[in-house]
Structure 1
Amino acid sequence: MAEVEGMTRQLAINQDLNVLLNDHLAQRDVYGIWRTMRNVLTFGQTNDFLQHYYIYLANYDLIVTSGSSYRPEHYYEFFHYDDLTFEEWKQQILEKAHRSEIKPLTSFSERDNETSVITYMQSLPLDSFNDSSPANVVVVIDARTIAGLFSGLIDNYGGWVHIHDGKGNTLALQGNMESDVSQIMNDPAFDQNKTSQFYKNDLVITTRSDKSGWVYQAGIPRSAMMENADQIKQASWFITGGAMIVGLLFGLYLAHRNSVPIHRMISIMKEQFGRDELTERNEIDFLSGNIANIISKNKQLENELTRQLPLVRDAFLRRLIAGEFESRDEIASAAQQADIALHNGKGYVGILQIKGYAGMDSVEILNELNAARLLMKQAFTEIAGSLPMTDLGSDKMVVLFFTDEEREPGPDEELRIAGVIEALTKQVLHEYKMFLQVGFGEPFDSVSEAGQSFDQAKQALEYAVYMNQKETVWYREARIVYTTYYYPLDTEQRLISTIRAGELEEAEKIVNLIMDQNLHQRELSVEMKQQLVGEIKGTFLKLMDQKIFAESDWFESTKRRIIDIGFTEPLESIHNEILAIMEELCRYISNKKKDSHAKLIRQIYEYTEAMYAHPDLTLYRVAEHVERPEKYISHLFKEVTGVNYSDHLIKVRMDRAAILLAETNLTVDEIAAQVGYNSSHSFRRAFKRLIGISPSTYRQSHEVV
């Protein structure tokens, strides 16, 4: 009925119809009537309730239908209500104003065919409030059309349908209860507001429309409802039993499939532990017991590592200031292990010495110094927070001040450090009566240069002690006169280690430092210069005697170049020649590393191709096969290939799965097992993430091709 009302609203805004409504000319607008007939023709094609409707135009005294136009008396000859005369019909239906009115079910004659209809009436325009209106839209709805909507209920169950308006007027009635409708409506035992209830032998369902106020009642005989109950019960038992059996079988399959990883884990644990304890315990007890043992040992190891962390930090700092690391990557890894933040790798190295204990080494003095260093560290932490610190002998302590992006090395940072040292000096003097002497080196721009800053801090401290200065002494302030060349043993060792690691940039920094110290910071005599050149040549000759360089094709020529460096040549020329030789050595080491890495990566590729079908293939297994640490393999593989090993393994498996999907008839579950997946769900998810479509879609696309 909503569409019927919608049709009347559309007619109300139809321009052609509005022209006719307002036409008061004596001559009839035949063309306008024809256009109106054409416009209303389509309404009956969209709704079964609009098969029979007409528009009465009062000013023309004309009835317009979708197919023709009639004078009222001619229309009445073919279509009329049995209980209304022509005058009554014209007065009550055509000439009276209506506002969405419905005439209840009434006998109706349509071209001598008897039927029953309900009638919907609406005046135009929609705001017609007088007793008459320019036009009326009348929709005649055959009761058989309404009954057809419920034919399934009536034909299949022998039921009945009754539709009436809010006043009790019957709008539609169909089924075997026509004689008892009035009895139901008047029976006080029947609750008209109850949705479903039994009345006599019928289940009566009642629904009320909030919009129209119509009441829809449908009755289904109890016998029809129970007719198929036994069949439904048997089908329910069969379906339920079948579902339980299928579920049980599927559960057993899943249990078997999901237990495979557990059995593999048990076999791996038996292999790792080297014994079989299953003779006395079942597999679950064996697995849970060993997992609990692993967790317990892991916690013990974690506690032990935490307990030893101060020792690890101390060892890292000692190696850092001694220049024992070969590369910045090694420094970064060791710092991470020691839980020390390097920030941007720039900063200062300072040495603090407790004054007045030089040359004293009795047990009482050493114990007192140990306590004094501990008190200094606590005071440092209170003033400046947690700083990397380590002991240097019994009366000295090394501290590193790292800068960050907000605080770069420079006058402001040095002023801040001097303030921290001054506060520390005052605190230990006031509370513990200790006097401190402090020396700081020049700032280092790379963490690998911290050893150089440490050497300078030692020289600054020696100057402070020699001059008995109480303030902090910076290396640049120490007026030190040098009579010998600068080439300490630890610097030589750091240079050798850096070249052997192939770190050209770090090696160049060390050589440039040596040359800067001897060219610009010192005035060397001829004899000292010759000794320095001899020391540097000796360092490179020691390098050439190592096996890795002795096996090279250019060993003899490079060794001859080193020997031919003249003692009388300018240090600048010697500097350039040393840099050229060093570049050749580092390039050779880098190439050897690349070859070694390429060989190792090739081994990993081959092992993965051979073992990808094993679900327990992991980075741990690969590292075990190539006899390298797991973290080293992970870092190297990502560095060389640009992807993580886990991503590479997934790609290998998915590539193989794609071939099997395109060239075989194996199921997706079978393919998942063949490429190393215990779970087909995990396989599908990984396949779609990498390929972009599901395995089944991929197979279908290749079948089409």
Structure 2
Amino acid sequence: MSRHSSVFRRFMFSYVLILIIPSIAGYMSYRTSISVTRSVSIENSVTQLQKSQDILERRMDEVQAFTRQLAINQDLAVLMNEKNVGDKSNVYGIWKMMKSVSTMGQTNDFLQDFFIYLNNYNVVLSPGSAYFRPEHYYENFRYADMTLAEWQRQVLGRTHRGEIMPMHPFVDKGAQKQVVTYMQSLPLDSFGDTSPATVVVMIDASMISNLLSGITDRYGGWVRISDAEGRTIALQGIGEQEVARIASDHTFDKRRQSQFYKEDLVITIPSGANGWIYQAGIPKQVLMENANKIKFITWTVTGAALAIGLIVGLLLSYRNSAPIHRLLTVVREQFGQEGERERNAYDFLHGNISEMIVNNKRLETELHRQLPLVRDAFLKRLIAGEFQSRDEIRAAASQAGAGFAGGAGYAGILQIDGYSGMDSVEILNELSAARLLLKRALSERTEDVHMTDLGSDRIVLLFVRPDDEPADGESGRQAIARLLEELSDSVFEAYRISVTVAMGDAFRTDTEVSASYEQAKQTLEYAHAGNRNGILWHRETRINSGTYYYPLDTELRLIGTVRAGELEEAKRIVQSIVAENAERRELSLEMRHQLVGELKGTLLKLLDQKAFQDSELFERAKNRIIEIPETEKLEAVQAEVNEVVAAICGRINSRKNDAHIRIVEQIKRFIEERYSDPELTLYRVAEQVERPEKYISQLFKEVTGTNLSDHLEHVRMDRASQLLRQSNQTVDDIAASTGYNSSHSFRRAFKRVTGVSPSAYRQTVHE
């Protein structure tokens, strides 16, 4: 603790300061708990009442929809329009309609009690029964406060347009209840004093009250629904006398949505659909009870949070000060301890880290400045054939930021005409400007070209397409030809610069770029000898030469490719050598013998390695190379050379795979031994096996099919699973013992790998 005392005190002071904030918040919460609880309760009550309103209005809309459905019923329309002649009635039609309406109330409890009155037949149709005299229906179903004559006059004898009669006492086969009545005349556009038919729906008031029970059950209050005239539709938790007393009190404002009236909070919501008024009362003591609960919870939580916060603050202060102290130690070791007494730890770190950032930015700026030079050097090495394998080329391209796609393409040389043999300062400046103009013009026309200067008046061009877009076909060559012709015409017209472009044959891989470049040089020499201008292709020239084509750089490239085990690439190099000498040159017999001898010498050089001298392959391959006849056609020699190359590559790849497996096993053993080290990184593993980080990362992925980081995580998770099953260690201890700096990152990694949290995994195992 003494080592970190300064930093520790700073952390602890910050945590204590933070703890004061929730204490103040707890006090403010105590002061505002009553008002907040009241507002929340009002909002919840309004919401609950609005929900009940929405439900009830939807149910009433269903009742209205029911009457509209009857209005379009064909059977009912027939009955309404028939004329009753004497005592004759359409018994069958009435019976059919009675059966039809018997099932209409099964999906909505608001439609359990209804009837249809046919005025022409003086018949009342109800579900399951037909009454040919209304007084017969009245004997079983009637309003307790309405006589038969009043019922016939007010209900059956009038035209109704969606009228609702407020709550009335009703006798249902001797049983007393309260009902709300909905009445609609048919057809819907009926006018006058009477109508052909009337639909009457008696809705049990208890069903409406049940829709409002959520408020009364939750708060123990009361609910009332009234129509626009103040007549009661539904009532629960309060009597009519109390309702009348509230309505007559001048202190009660009927227009306010919420207000306190005596010991209740009264909420009033008018309906815009039918003019009904929804009112709910909530006892004030319920609000105060919730406020007291909040008060108790606030003080309890605040006190507990202060106590726990102080303990956690002590632990976190020590834990967070320790890594800063370690960082200080490292920085002091690197930068010395000058000014340590005068400055605190944070100033010391700030100054040194700022210096590192500034130096890093300077280095980054310098690297960006040098990047074009590095990219240019890479392209020069590429066309010179200095790389031995594709992996080496692509690694160098990535390092140089060349963006070299590595696909097929063409190499060429663009020469500015008219400056041969001139080397004055003015001429060199003029050529430099011309090269810059040509590069910019070509870059504006295509992105698939790489350029580097070759002397003062020449530019090397590399047209490259990605691997999945072949450029060695006729269409690719024609596209490049059109591009170069357009470039030549435009620069001549704009700057009076004339150019000659010599293009080699297509290269299929990046290792063949140098061969295509050599062909371009030969083509340029052919153009100079023949005084040719414009765009020339190597395939359009034929060299009459008494010597064979097998330059040193091609031999070195073939040797490097075979030693890298790249069989297909080696075969392409051999094929290009044979094609150049057999198709494009007229070799004498003696020159052909010398070429075959050179190829045999190259193969013998490949066998002169320790990997082959102590193997059975050495003697067999050596004898086979010696036996290659020099009198055979070059195509036959190519087949023999390819077979020897295939045998050598197979041996090299076999030894390479064995070496790769040994390295991977070494990596696995190292991870098994050091998985508990939180500092175990890719750099540490690469340092152990003495290989570059990128190399071992790719090698491990190729051999095992798994990323090295994923393998390390799975090793740690396997050990963690074992500890969770077989030990009683806490999750924090297991996280530390498996190489994790924090239990949070361990829990997240464990759930990502296994699908469950560590605690759930341990509980499942125990169960």
Alignment of 1:221-260 (within 5 A): 222=284, 224-225=285-286, 228=289, 231-237=292-298, 240-241=301-302, 244=305
1:105 Cα offset (Å)? 4.2
1:555 aligned onto 2:555: no
Corresponding residue number in structure 2 for 1:321:
383
The 1:246/1:578 distance shift into structure 2, 3 A limit, reads farther
- C-alpha distance in 1, partners of 2:218/2:528? 114
1:677 Cα offset (Å)? 6.7
Corresponding residue number in structure 2 for 1:191:
253
Question: Over residues 3-38 of structure 1, what are the superposed CA-to-partner deviations in whole Å (9 max), with x where a residue is unaligned?
Answer: 544554455566776676567373567777677666
Corresponding residue number in structure 2 for 1:598:
661
- SS of the aligned residue for 1:217 comes to strand
2:606 pairs, out of 540, 543, 564, with 543
- C-alpha distance in 1, partners of 2:493/2:143? 118
Corresponding residue number in structure 1 for 2:461:
400
Corresponding letter in the other structure for 1:374: S
1:298 Cα offset (Å)? 3.9
1:380 aligned onto 2:438: yes
The 1:219/1:448 distance shift into structure 2, 3 A limit, reads closer
Corresponding letter in the other structure for 1:380: L
The 1:37/1:479 distance shift into structure 2, 3 A limit, reads closer
Q: Is the 8 A contact 1:403 1:409 kept in 2?
A: no
1:399 Cα offset (Å)? 1.3
1:120 pairs, out of 165, 182, 196, with 182
CA RMSD of aligned residues (A): 5.5
- SS of the aligned residue for 2:195 comes to coil
1:165 Cα offset (Å)? 1.9
1:96 pairs, out of 158, 166, 181, with 158
Corresponding residue number in structure 2 for 1:582:
645
The 1:485/1:107 distance shift into structure 2, 3 A limit, reads closer
- C-alpha distance in 1, partners of 2:572/2:217? 100
Larger RCO: 1 or 2 (CA < 8 Å, sep 6+): 2
1:210 Cα offset (Å)? 1.9
- SS of the aligned residue for 1:192 comes to coil
Q: Which deviates more from structure 2 when the two are superposed, residues 534-543 or residues 492-501?
A: 534-543
1:104 Cα offset (Å)? 3.6
The 1:186/1:323 distance shift into structure 2, 3 A limit, reads same
Q: Is the 8 A contact 2:484 2:535 kept in 1?
A: no
Corresponding residue number in structure 1 for 2:566:
503
Q: Is the 8 A contact 1:165 1:214 kept in 2?
A: yes
Question: Over residues 157-214 of structure 1, what are the superposed CA-to-partner deviations in whole Å (9 max), with x where a residue is unaligned?
Answer: 7755443321233444565664354454355543322112234554332222222212
- SS of the aligned residue for 1:194 comes to coil
Question: Over residues 289-345 of structure 1, what are the superposed CA-to-partner deviations in whole Å (9 max), with x where a residue is unaligned?
Answer: 676555444433332222222332332233223222122343233334334455643
Question: What residue ranges of structure 1 are gaps of 5+ in the alignment?
Answer: none
Overall identity of the aligned pairs, in %: 47
Corresponding residue number in structure 1 for 2:37:
none
1:588 Cα offset (Å)? 1.7
Corresponding letter in the other structure for 2:461: L
Q: Is the 8 A contact 1:342 1:402 kept in 2?
A: no
The 1:389/1:369 distance shift into structure 2, 3 A limit, reads farther
1:449 Cα offset (Å)? 2.7
Corresponding residue number in structure 2 for 1:451:
514
Q: Is the 8 A contact 2:543 2:584 kept in 1?
A: no
Corresponding residue number in structure 1 for 2:274:
212
Q: Which deviates more from structure 2 when the two are superposed, residues 510-519 or residues 499-508?
A: 510-519
1:492 aligned onto 2:550: no
The 1:491/1:57 distance shift into structure 2, 3 A limit, reads closer
- C-alpha distance in 2, partners of 1:513/1:227? 96
1:385 Cα offset (Å)? 3.7
- SS of the aligned residue for 2:158 comes to coil
- C-alpha distance in 1, partners of 2:356/2:636? 62
1:421 Cα offset (Å)? 6.5
Alignment of 1:9-24 (within 5 A): 9=68, 12=71, 24=84
- C-alpha distance in 2, partners of 1:427/1:64? 101
- SS of the aligned residue for 2:616 comes to coil
The 1:187/1:595 distance shift into structure 2, 3 A limit, reads same
Q: Which deviates more from structure 2 when the two are superposed, residues 8-17 or residues 545-554?
A: 8-17
1:633 aligned onto 2:696: yes
The 1:285/1:628 distance shift into structure 2, 3 A limit, reads farther
- C-alpha distance in 2, partners of 1:682/1:512? 56
Q: Is the 8 A contact 1:438 1:464 kept in 2?
A: no
Q: Which deviates more from structure 2 when the two are superposed, residues 75-84 or residues 544-553?
A: 75-84
Q: Is the 8 A contact 2:104 2:111 kept in 1?
A: yes
- C-alpha distance in 1, partners of 2:208/2:733? 57
- C-alpha distance in 1, partners of 2:690/2:589? 53
Q: Is the 8 A contact 1:349 1:443 kept in 2?
A: no
The 1:563/1:195 distance shift into structure 2, 3 A limit, reads same
Q: Is the 8 A contact 2:258 2:267 kept in 1?
A: yes
Question: Over residues 502-548 of structure 1, what are the superposed CA-to-partner deviations in whole Å (9 max), with x where a residue is unaligned?
Answer: 23333334434444555565565666555555544443333322223
Q: Is the 8 A contact 2:717 2:750 kept in 1?
A: yes
Q: Which deviates more from structure 2 when the two are superposed, residues 553-562 or residues 177-186?
A: 177-186
Alignment of 1:55-66 (within 5 A): 55-59=116-120, 61-63=122-124, 65=126
Question: What residue ranges of structure 2 are gaps of 5+ in the alignment?
Answer: 1-58
Q: Is the 8 A contact 2:167 2:180 kept in 1?
A: yes
Corresponding residue number in structure 2 for 1:203:
265
Count of aligned pairs between the two proteins: 691
Q: Is the 8 A contact 1:391 1:397 kept in 2?
A: yes
Question: Over residues 451-510 of structure 1, what are the superposed CA-to-partner deviations in whole Å (9 max), with x where a residue is unaligned?
Answer: 234434445555666788888877678786645444333333222222222233333344
Question: Over residues 211-257 of structure 1, what are the superposed CA-to-partner deviations in whole Å (9 max), with x where a residue is unaligned?
Answer: 221223334455x4466366434444257537856995998799799
Corresponding letter in the other structure for 1:206: T
Q: Which deviates more from structure 2 when the two are superposed, residues 487-496 or residues 461-470?
A: 461-470
- SS of the aligned residue for 2:574 comes to helix
Alignment of 1:340-355 (within 5 A): 340=402, 342=404, 344-350=407-413, 352=415
Alignment of 1:149-164 (within 5 A): 160-164=222-226
The 1:351/1:69 distance shift into structure 2, 3 A limit, reads closer
* TM-score, reference length from structure 2: 0.70
1:138 Cα offset (Å)? 3.6
Q: Is the 8 A contact 1:53 1:140 kept in 2?
A: yes
The 1:247/1:107 distance shift into structure 2, 3 A limit, reads farther
Alignment of 1:558-577 (within 5 A): 558-564=621-627, 574-577=637-640
Question: Over residues 104-141 of structure 1, what are the superposed CA-to-partner deviations in whole Å (9 max), with x where a residue is unaligned?
Answer: 44456677777765443333444443423344444445
1:388 Cα offset (Å)? 4.4
- C-alpha distance in 2, partners of 1:449/1:63? 102
Q: Which deviates more from structure 2 when the two are superposed, residues 292-301 or residues 402-411?
A: 402-411
Q: Which deviates more from structure 2 when the two are superposed, residues 563-572 or residues 592-601?
A: 563-572
- C-alpha distance in 2, partners of 1:112/1:427? 111
Q: Which deviates more from structure 2 when the two are superposed, residues 649-658 or residues 325-334?
A: 649-658
- C-alpha distance in 2, partners of 1:184/1:476? 108
Q: Which deviates more from structure 2 when the two are superposed, residues 372-381 or residues 650-659?
A: 650-659
Q: Is the 8 A contact 2:331 2:352 kept in 1?
A: no
Q: Which deviates more from structure 2 when the two are superposed, residues 115-124 or residues 311-320?
A: 115-124
- SS of the aligned residue for 2:387 comes to coil
1:312 pairs, out of 340, 358, 374, with 374
Corresponding letter in the other structure for 2:298: W
